[in-house]
Structure 1
Amino acid sequence: MTPNTALKVTEMHRAENWELMRALRRALKARGMTYRQLGDELGISEATVKRMFREQDCSLSRLTQICSLLNISVYDLMSVAQQQEETATQLTPEQEEYLASHPGHFAFLLCLIQRQFPDQIQSRHQLSDRCIFYYLRDLDRQGFLELAEHNRYRLKVGPQVKWSLQGPLQQRLKEVNQIFVKHVMDHNQEPGYAFESNFRFMSQSTLDAFCEDLRQLSRKYRRHSAQEDALLPENTLRGVKWTLCIAPFAPSGVLDIPEISA
């Protein structure tokens, strides 16, 4: 092995260890376990735990012990550490056309993708048993799910879907995001909600950097959420949507300013 090859292998192992320890740190945080509590369970000091994470130095036996305390397997933790983010399903043009022309089916599918069960949808929208079956049957025929007896089903799309912003669903997606923005604005003071809207003058280079920062921020939390989804019990997770927008904007080009008389 040449020195350059050895260096590349060492760097790769260091990166793998960093990802593994980061996934372990997130699992600890999600379960509300502090370094001190972990140290007490392991019979070591809090300082030793901190050093273990700082130096990314954890033996397999120690890692197995920690995973056992967190009720997860080492295999699951390693899989999550290697996971970048969930792969998004790409709908066919025919599927997008169908959802665009069937808004009720589009809304029903969104609810299923967001892990709402048919009986929950039925109760909230006061739908009949027959109506629920019809929705599931139609979505099965279009290839969105596989329907079995007693309304049991398996989704064939998701949990992430890559929606085409310029495709047949453009208007539906606009409507969903308008509803979402209104919802966030109405609840902005509540925990777990955040809304920021500003207007500033800036150079093109600053705007480009701003856009890239937003993309990186979104990638970061898509990755974190994919890891948590794989590691944590479903009842500890919340469905969260975010919409990040930035663009050159001139109010005079979109707002109506009628002529007035004295």
Structure 2
Amino acid sequence: MSMTDLSSSSVQRDACVSGDEHQQRENLFTLLKQALKARGFTYARLAAEMNMSELSIKRLFKEKDCKMSRLLEVCSIIGLSIDELIQMQQRFRHMPEYLPESVEAALAADKQLFLILILLVSQVDIPTVGSLMEVDQARLYLYLRELEKLGIIELRSGVGFRFRVSLPIQWRMGGQLADLIKGINKRYIAHCLDHEKDSEYAFTTASRLMSKSSVLQIQNHLRRVREEFDYLSSQDQMFYKVEELQFYKLVFGMGPFPVDVILADE
């Protein structure tokens, strides 16, 4: 089930014409070509399905024809919804942005509301959010209404919604949500330690004397790991059914080791 309802022509049109149009088209068609390859579609096969010549299909992808009717037709043939494709394209488009501090304060006051938002931002569909959070449909709707009141989402018919804020969202580590975010990550690290021998978990910790140049090299590697995590998760959400996926979390930290702070009583 798709997590958003992008049936509105204005929303679909905005996906192609807002912002840096050239880069958006590049990203959109890059994703579409990856989807074709993953589903075993050649240009010749797609052309036959669309009753077009292979040359016309090649021209469409070369010129990056962004007509919504064409995208809808291609997506329908390969079994990919247009909203899934546009959601993936939007991930290329936006730099992380902060929510207003007043919104962060409201989220900090309700941990369940914050976790539901985290799941939605992570592209988890609404029914799965309810299952993971162990809340019934009526209670989940109240949470969604609260997110709508905060200006984060706009509810649509059925179980659909769209984000009213740019994705991805960046959190103020020193803001209202700081204690909540710290608590969540502390408990998750403790959970990983408890399951360190489980094949589904990977945990390591080390402390060494190092030069700044070596530290910078490793930190750059870690940034690339984060980029790969984001990329592969986006691909998986495009090519797999939601019931075939599991929610995972990535946490790492590297910096000076303040022994006095670590050993201090909380």
Q: Does the TM-score normalized on the shorter chain lie above 0.5? A: yes
Matches within 5 A, 1:95-134: 95-122=103-130, 127=135, 130-134=138-142
The answer to whether the Cα contact below 8 Å between 1:83 and 1:227 also exists between their aligned partners in 2 is no
The offset of 1:205, in angstroms, is 1.7
Name the residue aligned to 1:177: 185
Larger Rg over CA atoms: 1
Note closer, same or farther for the CA distance 1:233–1:243 as it changes in structure 2 (3 Å cut): same
Note closer, same or farther for the CA distance 1:151–1:249 as it changes in structure 2 (3 Å cut): same
The answer to whether the Cα contact below 8 Å between 2:91 and 2:167 also exists between their aligned partners in 1 is no
Deviation per residue, 1:158-203 (Å, 9 max, x gap)? 7632222222211111112112212222223333421110111111
The answer to whether the Cα contact below 8 Å between 1:90 and 1:162 also exists between their aligned partners in 2 is yes
The offset of 1:111, in angstroms, is 3.1
Name the residue aligned to 1:216: 224
- CA distance in structure 2 between the aligned counterparts of 1:209 and 1:114, rounded to whole angstroms: 29
Normalised by the length of structure 1, the TM-score is 0.59
* Partner secondary structure for residue 146 of structure 1: strand
Q: Structure 1, unaligned stretches of length 5 or more?
A: 1-15, 43-58, 258-262
* Partner secondary structure for residue 105 of structure 2: helix
Note closer, same or farther for the CA distance 1:85–1:123 as it changes in structure 2 (3 Å cut): closer
**Residue 199 of structure 2, aligned match among 191, 201, 204:** 191
- Over aligned residues, Cα RMSD in angstroms? 4.5
The answer to whether the Cα contact below 8 Å between 2:36 and 2:78 also exists between their aligned partners in 1 is no
Name the residue aligned to 2:9: none
- CA distance in structure 1 between the aligned counterparts of 2:105 and 2:88, rounded to whole angstroms: 37
Matched, 1:234 2:241: yes
Note closer, same or farther for the CA distance 1:160–1:193 as it changes in structure 2 (3 Å cut): farther
Q: Structure 2, unaligned stretches of length 5 or more?
A: 1-25, 46-56, 62-73
The offset of 1:86, in angstroms, is 5.8
Name the residue aligned to 1:201: 209
The answer to whether the Cα contact below 8 Å between 1:27 and 1:228 also exists between their aligned partners in 2 is no
The answer to whether the Cα contact below 8 Å between 2:192 and 2:202 also exists between their aligned partners in 1 is yes
- CA distance in structure 2 between the aligned counterparts of 1:122 and 1:111, rounded to whole angstroms: 10
* Partner secondary structure for residue 254 of structure 1: helix
- CA distance in structure 2 between the aligned counterparts of 1:127 and 1:226, rounded to whole angstroms: 26
Counterpart residue identity of residue 209, structure 1: Q
- CA distance in structure 2 between the aligned counterparts of 1:184 and 1:174, rounded to whole angstroms: 15
* Partner secondary structure for residue 175 of structure 1: helix
The answer to whether the Cα contact below 8 Å between 1:86 and 1:226 also exists between their aligned partners in 2 is no
Matched, 1:167 2:175: yes
The offset of 1:226, in angstroms, is 3.1
Q: Between the two proteins, what is the percent identity of the paired residues?
A: 23
Normalised by the length of structure 2, the TM-score is 0.58
Matches within 5 A, 1:38-117: 60=58, 71=78, 85=92, 87=94, 88-117=96-125
- CA distance in structure 2 between the aligned counterparts of 1:150 and 1:81, rounded to whole angstroms: 22
